[in-house]
Amino acid sequence: MALSFRTRGMSRSAKRRIIILIITFLVSIVFFYIVLNHHSIPATQEMKKPSLPTISVSTGGVKQLCLSGYRAKMSSGELGGYLLPLGSDRRISAEIRTYGAEVERASYQIRSADQDRIVSSQRISDLSAGGDSVTFDAELTNLISPGEQYILVIRLDTGGHKVWYYTRLQMTDNDRIGEMLQFMKNFHDKSLSEHSAEIGRYLETDKTEADDNRSLARVDIRSQIGDISLEGLSHKVVSDPVISVTQIRDDTIQAELSYMIRIENELYMARESYRVRYGAPRMYLLDFSRTLDVVPSEHTFSVKKNVLSVGIASTDMNTVTNEAGSAAAFVQAGGLYEYSRNKASITRIFSFGDDYASDPREANQDHEIRILNIDAAGSMDFAVYGYMNAGEHEGMNGVDLYHYDSATGISSEEGFIESRHSLSYIKDNFSELLYRTPGGLVYLMQNGRLLGIDLNTGETSLILKQMQPEQYSVSPDSRYIAWTDTSDPSDTIRIRDLSSGKTYMIKARDGEKLKVMCFMEDNLVYGTCSSASDQYMYRLTIVSVKNEKLTRLKEYQKKDIYIEKVTPDENAIRLYRIRRTGKGYKRTSSDTILNTLDTSKDTGASYTTESRLGRIRAIKLSPIYSDTPSEIRFADSRLYFNPSVISVDLYNK
């Protein structure tokens, strides 16, 4: 009898269930990938180009200044950074470059330097239009006293709006001002031409200077002619140089000359400083210097191992890296940039424009950028403060807050804090403490007041007021502020963590008073005195403020030694000490406490390497163990301006 066998396999229903499970699994993966990686991308827009006219003023036959306009009256005593010299004839000639705007009306006002007194106010009736400019001549009032400084305010009515322009004004008996300014312009022209040898007699060249110290990023009166003339490098000045006087004293004048120059196909901001004394039969050049700062573009960057080279810069860049060292944000030539190692790309996060060579309004440097934080993915919060060259707030001074999302490549405006004061005032009164929490709370110091602003509602709260500089200190990252209730040593030090909103306290022992000194990273340094009237500290204490335990890290106390003051010194603090003697106190040697607990990684440090132009700035990132692409992509972030963005005017608060 023949045997037959039936092969048993998976049943049809089981196969169906498995197929359904596989399909469900794949659909789930696709679904969750879309959900987790979906970003709501708002409608972005280009930043509006500058629209306000500029004003140049001529005295002594030389055109000076390039004044930017303000849409509101400002605290003019602080805005006159440059000085307009006025000859004994008291005449000025002004040129308004309109950029297509219609100038309907113009007037000027002369105020005393303290703004308490209006010296003269006059409407300008003889405006002369031609092409893209409007000109006028004016003879100023005879109430101006020689040697005294005033504020000249020019007001234009254009496009239905009022625009104000400010500069300091000084009448001088020196009728050679025009010749001295012309000498500076001639020196500039010859120094960058084939006639550069003619400037040699005005220099004080130091022939002993080592080649290692030479850099075209900064040259001065002691440099060699070849370095000043950019010998061997193709170069061309691509903007009209603007000359601005900074000081007049007897027969001596100081001035700056700024312009854009292209060197070997890269664009640079150049600034020259002069100090000249008039003499017969020739002028005397007392001092001269020139700085160069590259305007970053796709051609200026290179990466080698863990070093990002940025280009020629006259000063160290404002640089922040994330904790992993995989992303670095930096400020250069008025713009904010970010390098992402993972994406092998450079992104221009923020800039007021890219036409620096032909539009001086875009190249205006009366603003600064502060990076508030940067996360592992490269997203960051940052603030632009000072004069707004372009965009929604053009012609205003203030602090503009942004968030950059690295996933979408969008910079979103979150709030604007208006100010009627100059960049120097904002730097002194706003940038000391500027902190943003993930929840949208912004904290800032203004005139000794700690203010909190809710970006979601626009509500402003006053947290601390009437704070004197000697009674508080702010951590380097602005996250912590420590203070006492009075300017004198106190019973209690309070520490506020602005990230969490928590406040901690340090209480003095019986018979002791405490004094806030400074921060070393996240560590507070405070001193102990014997009484509120005693300014000398006999003990210093360092505590960690990362949590409410306020862990004590170090105490400094030496017999008969008192500490007069403490100053931060890079990664250390310097102690200025006195010794108690039988006759009282006597100053003794200073001492230093090093921050041996600093755990920051060796990333983000700006340092120099050599190039054909001299020393260039570079940023050190975390070590890279794989090959770095020889080319990196260059892109611009997109901008989103929320029409309902919070705008706060703190001028009268």
Residues of 231-260 as b/e, b for ≥16 C-beta within 10 angstroms?
A: eeeebebebebbbbbeebeeeebbbbbbbb
Least confident range from 66-70, 236-240, 308-312, 482-486: namely: 308-312
- Are the C-beta atoms of 380 and 404 separated by less than 8 Å? yes
Write the pLDDT tens digit of every residue in 278-292. 987 889 999 999 999
pLDDT higher than 70, residue 210: no
Please state, for a pLDDT cut of 70, what percent of the chain lies above it: 86
Q: Peptide bond before 629: cis, by omega within 30 degrees of 0?
A: no
Which among 129, 236, 148, 147 has a CA at the least distance from the CA of 192?
A: 236
* Phi/psi of residue 527, nearest 5 degrees: -115, 160
Which pLDDT does position 30 carry in this prediction?
A: 55
Q: How many C-beta atoms surround the C-beta of residue 595 within 10 A?
A: 18
Mean of the pLDDT values across residues 348-366? 92
- Please provide the average confidence, as pLDDT, over all residues in the chain: 86
Which pLDDT does position 317 carry in this prediction?
A: 73
Which among 316, 333, 314 has a CA at the least distance from the CA of 215?
A: 314
- Are the C-beta atoms of 165 and 67 separated by less than 8 Å? yes
Task: Report d(CA 289, CA 632) in Å as an integer.
Answer: 34
pLDDT higher than 80, residue 190: yes
Give 7's pLDDT tier (boundaries 50, 70, 90).
very low
- Are the C-beta atoms of 272 and 285 separated by less than 8 Å? no
Which pLDDT does position 653 carry in this prediction?
A: 47
Q: Which residue has the higher pLDDT, 449 or 277?
A: 277
Write the pLDDT tens digit of every residue in 509-524. 999 999 999 999 889 9
pTM of the model: 0.85
Query: Strand 410-419 and strand 638-640: pairing?
Result: parallel
Write the pLDDT tens digit of every residue in 283-339. 999 999 999 999 998 888 888 777 888 888 877 777 888 888 888 899 999 999 999
Q: Which residue segments constitute the domains of the chain, with CATH numbers given?
A: 54-171 (2.60.40.10), 177-294 (3.10.450)
